Each structure stands twice: as structure tokens, then as C-alpha cells.
Structure 1
Amino acid sequence: MKKVFLLILIVAGFYSCSKDDKGYLDITVDQNTISFDAVEGGAIMRFTLDDPRIYRVKAEYNDQYGNNIVKMASFANDSLMLTGFNAPHQNVHVLVSYLDENDNASSSVDLTFNTLASAVYSFFDAAEVYSYWDGFAVSYEAPELVSGFANVYFMGTNPVTKERDSILVETFPIKAGGDARFYSLDESQKSDYNTVIITTEDYNQRIAQSNTWENVESFSRVRLPNTGFELIDPFGLSIEDQNDDNPSYPVRFGKEYLFDGDIKGSQRLENFTLGWPPAQYTFIAGPRAMQDLDGNQMYFVLDIQEKSIVGELRLYALLSHGRMMNPTIYNNDYYTKAPCKVKVYGCNDYVESTDPTAETGSWKELGYYNEDPNAASANRWYTNKETGYNYDIQTLAAMEAADPAYLSVSLDFDGNEYRYFRIEVLDTYENLWLPSYFHNNDGYVSFHEIEVFAKKN
């Protein structure tokens, strides 16, 4: 009896060892249940399994660079991604087999698949390098299935060797659908024309393609003389008042002060230092210069008289010197009338209308400045950047030495010239200390000077 039991144990152990050893899975791979869809950088192998003994599907092939690739998918899947290609390929051989739960393999079948160009390979099909402010811009299109990176260089001066060399500006992941990147070079690298080099690489740091663009013009920005500019006020919001009769609060409000060259508030301080109560010599609009009672967005139209490629619009603020502005309009707080959200549009066919709510002009949105109305004082555009607080200027010499404070709206570069610019103020700042008292409930808007920076001819 003991011999019989021992024999049973030996047989059971042999069977167990045989089961663990790799064997042969007696299943034929059905080619009719397998198909391939070419995709960017490879192919999708689709399959259907109807035998419960199959635990995994195995695909073995060589990629574009001769590397042996093995991909597997479990019975719970119905597809497998075959990767490893940048250039498009036709009739790539792949061995497909089945595996059971013990990794016993069936015989394999030799199939073929095609691939599409990967994003790093097709990048240059629609890539463009074009002029930009003090540098250049790059735009490209890409498929939805993307992988890899692009490296952007320009020919400049190596800061170490002081020799002419290729300088890396940025390495960025290629974005599905495409993107545009903008590069303004610093003063030491600026040039009237640039040579730009772009290379693309996959995730294994293999260079797929490269291209060079020479003589890409760099646009310099200059300030346009604003003495001939006009601010068109379709809704009649600007307060035009030159009343000096009130000795306590002389008034100097009007659109004319937006283009008089006083970007800091020197005229106001000059009158104060002469012993006179200071008038404002500035621009303010309202009430409801942001929205009217019906909820319509108010706006102004800046006419720069001649079409230009414009890159920046600046709205300046009065630099504070300790005297309150006209309390009736400003409610004792100038800065709650300062814009914190501004949209700028451009067109060339604006026509003044007796109905300002009518659409007049083929406007294109070009720029947007957006800051929280409750932003910390140090972060607001009108504050002294050295102190983080409002300016407190007491002398003309200090005014002369101070940096101007301005809101800068960068305008999208599309290479087009525009003459008219629609300015919409969407919101103004809140007073952080006494918002319920120093408020802007009536929707006044104030800024001190307008400047425009455009392409240097």
C-alpha cells in the first residue's frame, strides 16, 4: 500500500513539473480575427479571442531602428499598440502568437502592418518660422496622436566662448493639434535677421528630422508719436470739463490729456508746487463706463490715424503725490477707477455711428489684460515696484526720476496692420482697506495717457 501511495506522489509531482515547463499551446492563430490600423508612429493591432485557453496575445517585430520589440496584451483587451516608428513604413513583418496561463505559446503567424509618420517626423510638413518682436515665432500643426519633442535654436553668440554658435531657446513637447511659440531675444542676442534651427526627437532622444530657416526678420518696436491720435467716445462717456472757477477743486478733465506727453502727472505737481490746488490734467469717463444700465459693454475707439503693425498698448496712471483727486467723481480714491481687466480689438473699417450699440467694424480680438480686482497692492500695475505701495512724490525732481506706471496690453502678432483699436474696460480695482467706502459703484474709468508701440519702419 505504501508503494502505491508513493507511486501516486511521484506521478503527481511529475505531472506538476510537466505543467510548469513551457509546452506547446495547440491553438491556431486565426488571421481573420486580426487586423491593423496604421497610426502616427506605429499601428493598432485589433484582435478577437474566442478560446478560453488564451490568456495573452503576443506580437514580435523589429522597429524602425532594428530593435527587437515584443508587445503583449491580455485576453481582457481587444487591441495592442505597436510602436517604434518615426518615418512611415509599409509591410512591417510581425509574428503573432497566443499564450496560455502558463505562458505556453502557440505557433506564430507572420503578418504585416503599415505605419504613418509620427508627430516628430511630420512636424515640418506644416511648420513655419516667421517674424516677431525682437525675435521670431514658430507655429506647427500636429495630429491628435503625438509623441516626442521639438528643440528650437537660433544662431547667436555663445556666452562662454563669445563665438557664433547655435543657442538653444526652448525644448517643448509637441502638442496635439499644433501650437504657436513666441521668442523675444534679450538685448545681447538681438539681430535684424535670425537663423533658426529646429530639430525633433522621440522619447528615446533619437533625432527624427531637422530644418533651418535663414534670414527671418526680427521686428523692433518703437513708440508711435501720439500727438495726432484721437480717442473716439461713441457713448459720450468722457468727462470734458476745464472749469477752473472753483479754487478748492479746479477741474481739468478731457480726452486731450491722453496725448499731451505727460505720462506721470508732472502738470498736476507743477501747479501744486506753485501754491495752487492741483487740477487733474487727466482723463476720466463715466458713470457706467464699463457697462450701461442695460448691461451693454461700453468701449472707446483709439484712432492712430495710419495703419501699423502694433505690438503693445499702454495705459498710464497719475503718480500720487499726496493730494486727493476731485472727491465728487473719484470718491477720494483714484485707484478704484484704474482698470484691471481690459480687452483690445483691432480693425480698419470702423465707422462712427449715431447708434454706438450697432456693429461698426470688423473687429478682431488682439489682446487681454486680466488681473484680480482684489490683487495685493504690490502686484498692481500702478504701484511703485521698489516699495510695493502707491507713489508719494513731493518734488518735480522726484517726479522726473520716478519710473512711469502703466498697464501694458500685449497684442497678438498676426502680421496685419490696424488703424482702429477698440478698448473695453471690464473691471477696476477694489480698495483693500475700506471697500464699502472707497468704491466704484458708478463704474468710472480713469487713465492718464495712451501710448502705442508698433513695428519700426
Structure 2
Amino acid sequence: MKNIYLILLLFTGLLACNDDHDFIKADLPENAFRFKEIPGGAVMYYKLPDDPNIVGIRVRYKDARGEEMLRSGSSNCDSLMLIGFNEEMKDVAAKVSYHFQNNQESQSFDVRFSTADSGPVAFMKSLKCHSNWDGFALQFNNPVGTSGLAHVYYLGKDPKTQLPDTVFIKSFTLSPTEEEETLSFEFKQEIDTTTIIVKVEDFRGYMVKKQAFKGIKKLVKQQLHKEDFSFYCDNALEDEGCEIGVRYLFDGDTKGVKCFENGNYCSFAAGPDAAGEDAHPMYLDLKQNRVLSSIRLYNLLRNGSFMYWDAPGLLHNVLLNGFNENFIPCEVTIYGLPDQGNTPSGYSDIHQLDGWQKLGMFKQERESPLADRWCPNVYSSAFWTARYPTLASLEAASPEYLEIVVPAIGQNEGYRYIKMVINEVFDIASDEGWYQDDNYDNYVQFHELEIYSAK
């Protein structure tokens, strides 16, 4: 028994000697470590000792979940991100050691650092939920460096069982915002008042926070009749030969049935310079202040009675032999202005008004694949056969439109004047088409325009 104790003591002593040998004594340079708070963590700026055998640095600490973290930095860099935090924290304890070529480490140095709120936490702190048109709106303001994922739900009914349940609506990525941003959502079920639930997770996939907003009411909107407003566009195209003009914007045909029946456009186009940096704005006079809900621009669906080859006038010379894929708006911004006590007599009068407030915008990338666009069934040079070859198939089709939703919150009495600026149009969707051309003069084409306001 005595021999066993002696062996154990000797073995323990050897381990202690090995532990001492594993660490190499290192001296700290002046201003060796400096920390800066960032969302969800900190940046450690470091200076390595003047020793060619030191190849890096290691930092050990516990994250917000209590899990051990090891972060390594190279001698080729001078900073290292310390991640894994949610709410801001002060004086987080950490140990720093230098890493040598032989995979040994120096003794550890005790340091402390502080962190700022992570992106998901900052998002939730700024998050507001408001009743909105046919649903609700989320408002938030994310700082620089924000990342993560938000998941949105509401209390409704399970579509299969029709029993009360939490219904998923949408997920979206969190990113920095230049100013307060608003996202609008519509209920897919008949709901008057409900609870909205928002959950956020960090980029590591951990759920960070959850927040519920009770008593959110669906606001009802209505479409304005064409008698309720005036439309102004100083470069709208008017051509009787192919039936292009302003009057077709408000005739109620959202899909192109008249086009099918007449074998002509029966639609709207504008240009040159209807889009781009020098775009001529289009204006709406709603004749009185109205709380605006949304504006929709519709696509002329690719139907089977369109005359490509013998089309007269503007249809042939301006609209690319009937292929309009790169005339369709992909980025649109709308502005509002309350009643100023006078009635404009034309485009120049309303164009001179100032004090416009940005109300909302719609944007898709100019080079988006055709299938991903809001208007996949345009007249494209790569897909020139009819998508809806019969009148019955066209009438049964769902309309395609972009919609710019204006949140109800903050409108007060609303706006009388609306300015619509088309910042960009889509590019040609494919290089496989038999006919290609560029829209150098920034013409614009869309089929129908609808305005919705509070009921």
C-alpha cells in the first residue's frame, strides 16, 4: 500500500512538472490589448511580443449561454472579434495567451471587455407593431453591424384542423437600416383583432428573444374610383394605332382581356425618360386629403392574341416589336403632400409643389431572373409563345402587380397629392431570345394603376 502512495505522488509530481513546462513565459508589450464594443460582442485589438516564434493569440471566455468560447487570432492580423452575446454586458472576464510555433502557449493574462446589444436585441428594442391595411405593420431601426433572422406569427387557426394555433407568416433577415423601416403584412385568414408574435435568432441559430403585441386590428381599405382623382404624366404616349394611352390605365382591365379581344395593346406607356436618374415623375391629385393604403401597378399578361409582326406605330418602333420585358418598373418610390389649399391646373403646377414626404417604395433587382420578378408573364423575347393562349385561360389567370403599401401610422389626415418616381426598369431577362434591344431612352410600360385608401 505504501508503494502505491509513493507511485501516485511521483505521478502527480510529473504531471505538475509537465503542466509547468506546457506554458512559456511571455512578457506583455505596452498597450498589448484594447477592446471596442460592437453589436453582439467586442473587437479585441492586440499587439504581439517581438518574438518570431509567436504565431498568434488565443482568447477564452464564456458567451451569453455560459458556453466556453475559444477565439484565435493570427500574427498576420491585429484584431479579433469576440462573439456570442445578446444584451450588452460590462466587464466580461477573459483569459488571453500567446500561441507559439510548437503549439505551446504562454501563461494566460486576465482581461475584461464590454459588449453592445446584438442585432436581434437592438431590433427587438426598437420594434413597434401597428394595425395596418388587411393586417399589420412592423417598424424598426437597426444599427450598423446588425445581423440575424426574424420570424413573424399571429394567433389564428391551423389551416388543416381549423383549431386555434400560432400561424407562421414570414421570416426575414436583419440588416442595418439607414432610418426607421416599415414592413407590412397581410392576414391570410378572416381576422379582425389578434396577437402578433415576433421571434429573433442570431447568426449562430440560437433563439434570442420573443415579443407579443396584443390587440392588433385589421384596417379595411377601398379602391378609389377614377372619378376620385386626376392623373398627370407629361410624357405619356398616346397612339390610336396600337391603342396606347392614359385612358387604359383606369379601365378596370388588370390582365389584358381587351388586348386579347382587340389584338392590340390597350395599355399604357411613357417615355422617353420615364425612368432612371432623370425620370419625369407621375402625379396623382386625390382631390382631398386621404389616408393612403397602397398603389398597385399591373402587368399586361402574355396572351395569345397579340400581333407582333404587323403592329403599327409605337408598338413596333418604341416597344421592341412587342417585347416589353425591359420596360417594366422594378424600383418605384412614392411621395405624398397634404392639401395646400389650391387646385393645380396641370402637370407644371403640381410639379412645382414642394415639401414632398417619402411614403414607401418597391424594389426588385434589375437583373432578377424572369421567374422571380413580380411580372413573370411579360412579353419576353426568350418566351414569345403565349402564356395564356385562350380567352378562358386569361380570364382564369391571377393578375400580376407590384404594390407599394403605405402604413396607416403617421399619416394623420393623409395626403392629397401623390408623386410616383420610377427609379429603374428591369433588364432583358435572357440572352437566349431571338430579338434583343436595350431601353436606352428609359421608356416605361405597365398595364393598369389602382389606388387604395382608408374606407
Letter in 2 for 1:303: D
Label 1:128 to 1:441 Cα distance change in 2 as closer, same or farther (>3 A).
closer
1:428, 1:20 → 2: CA distance? 66
Residue matched to 1:341: 328
Q: Secondary structure at the match of 1:28?
A: coil
- Contact kept in structure 1, 2:283 and 2:350, CA below 8 Å: no
In structure 2, which of residues 276, 285, 288 is the aligned counterpart of residue 303 of structure 1?
A: 285
Residue matched to 2:46: 47
Residue matched to 1:246: none
Q: How does 1:274-423 map to 2 (within 5 A)?
A: 289-291=271-273, 301-306=283-288, 307-314=290-297, 327=312, 336=322, 340-342=327-329, 345-348=334-337, 351-352=344-345, 355=348, 359-360=352-353, 362=355, 364=358, 366=360, 379-381=376-378, 388-389=386-387, 402-403=395-396, 408-415=401-408, 416=411, 417-422=414-419
Letter in 2 for 1:51: D
The CA deviation at 1:155 is 0.9
Label 1:434 to 1:192 Cα distance change in 2 as closer, same or farther (>3 A).
same
2:63, 2:421 → 1: CA distance? 56
Residue matched to 1:61: 61
The CA deviation at 1:44 is 2.2
Letter in 2 for 1:347: G
1:316, 1:76 → 2: CA distance? 55
Letter in 1 for 2:215: N
The CA deviation at 1:234 is 4.5
Q: Secondary structure at the match of 1:311?
A: strand
For the pair 1:167 / 2:160, whether they are aligned, the reply is: no
1:98, 1:435 → 2: CA distance? 61
Label 1:111 to 1:333 Cα distance change in 2 as closer, same or farther (>3 A).
closer
1:80, 1:255 → 2: CA distance? 60
2:70, 2:446 → 1: CA distance? 67
Residue matched to 1:185: 187
Q: How does 1:76-87 map to 2 (within 5 A)?
A: 76-87=76-87
Letter in 2 for 1:125: K
> Any idea what the Cα deviations from partners look like across 1:203-224, whole Å, max 9, x if unmatched?
4544322211122233344332
Label 1:33 to 1:345 Cα distance change in 2 as closer, same or farther (>3 A).
closer
State, as a whole percentage, how many aligned pairs show the same letter. Answer: 23
> Any idea what the Cα deviations from partners look like across 1:8-58, whole Å, max 9, x if unmatched?
xxxxxxxxxx99994442323457422222222222222212331433333
Letter in 2 for 1:312: I
2:201, 2:67 → 1: CA distance? 17
2:336, 2:298 → 1: CA distance? 20
2:306, 2:72 → 1: CA distance? 75
- Contact kept in structure 1, 2:328 and 2:444, CA below 8 Å: no
The CA deviation at 1:359 is 3.8
1:98, 1:379 → 2: CA distance? 57
Residue matched to 2:9: none
The CA deviation at 1:314 is 4.6
1:268, 1:57 → 2: CA distance? 70
**Would you say how many aligned residue pairs link Structure 1 and Structure 2?**
405
2:219, 2:311 → 1: CA distance? 43
Q: How does 1:101-120 map to 2 (within 5 A)?
A: 101-120=101-120
The CA deviation at 1:260 is 6.0
Letter in 1 for 2:73: A
1:87, 1:45 → 2: CA distance? 19
1:331, 1:434 → 2: CA distance? 13
Label 1:328 to 1:102 Cα distance change in 2 as closer, same or farther (>3 A).
closer
Label 1:406 to 1:229 Cα distance change in 2 as closer, same or farther (>3 A).
farther
TM-score between both structures, scaled by the size of structure 1: 0.66
Residue matched to 1:13: none
Letter in 2 for 1:155: L
Q: Which moved more, 1:306-315 or 1:421-430?
A: 421-430
Letter in 2 for 1:226: K
- Contact kept in structure 2, 1:382 and 1:405, CA below 8 Å: no
Letter in 1 for 2:170: E
Structure 2 stretches lacking a partner, 5+ long: 1-16
The CA deviation at 1:434 is 8.1
Label 1:434 to 1:108 Cα distance change in 2 as closer, same or farther (>3 A).
closer
Residue matched to 1:10: none
1:41, 1:193 → 2: CA distance? 35
- Contact kept in structure 1, 2:61 and 2:93, CA below 8 Å: yes
Label 1:351 to 1:235 Cα distance change in 2 as closer, same or farther (>3 A).
farther
- Contact kept in structure 1, 2:304 and 2:387, CA below 8 Å: no
Label 1:55 to 1:163 Cα distance change in 2 as closer, same or farther (>3 A).
same
For the pair 1:26 / 2:13, whether they are aligned, the reply is: no
1:267, 1:23 → 2: CA distance? 84
Letter in 2 for 1:97: S
Residue matched to 2:5: none
- Contact kept in structure 2, 1:291 and 1:298, CA below 8 Å: yes
Residue matched to 1:130: 130
Q: Secondary structure at the match of 1:76?
A: coil
Q: Secondary structure at the match of 1:90?
A: strand
The CA deviation at 1:78 is 2.1
What is the aligned-residue RMSD (CA, Å)? 5.1
> Any idea what the Cα deviations from partners look like across 1:122-179, whole Å, max 9, x if unmatched?
2222112234443223333333333433222211112344322222323443223476
In structure 1, which of residues 443, 449, 452 is the aligned counterpart of residue 450 of structure 2?
A: 452
The CA deviation at 1:60 is 2.5
Residue matched to 2:93: 93
The CA deviation at 1:196 is 1.0
The CA deviation at 1:392 is 5.9
Residue matched to 1:11: none
TM-score between both structures, scaled by the size of structure 2: 0.66
Structure 1 stretches lacking a partner, 5+ long: 1-17, 242-248, 273-277
> Any idea what the Cα deviations from partners look like across 1:351-381, whole Å, max 9, x if unmatched?
3458579644555585569889x979x9445
Label 1:190 to 1:312 Cα distance change in 2 as closer, same or farther (>3 A).
farther
Label 1:362 to 1:130 Cα distance change in 2 as closer, same or farther (>3 A).
same
1:446, 1:48 → 2: CA distance? 60
Q: How does 1:141-220 map to 2 (within 5 A)?
A: 141-177=141-177, 180-186=182-188, 189-220=189-220
Letter in 1 for 2:123: F
Residue matched to 1:14: none
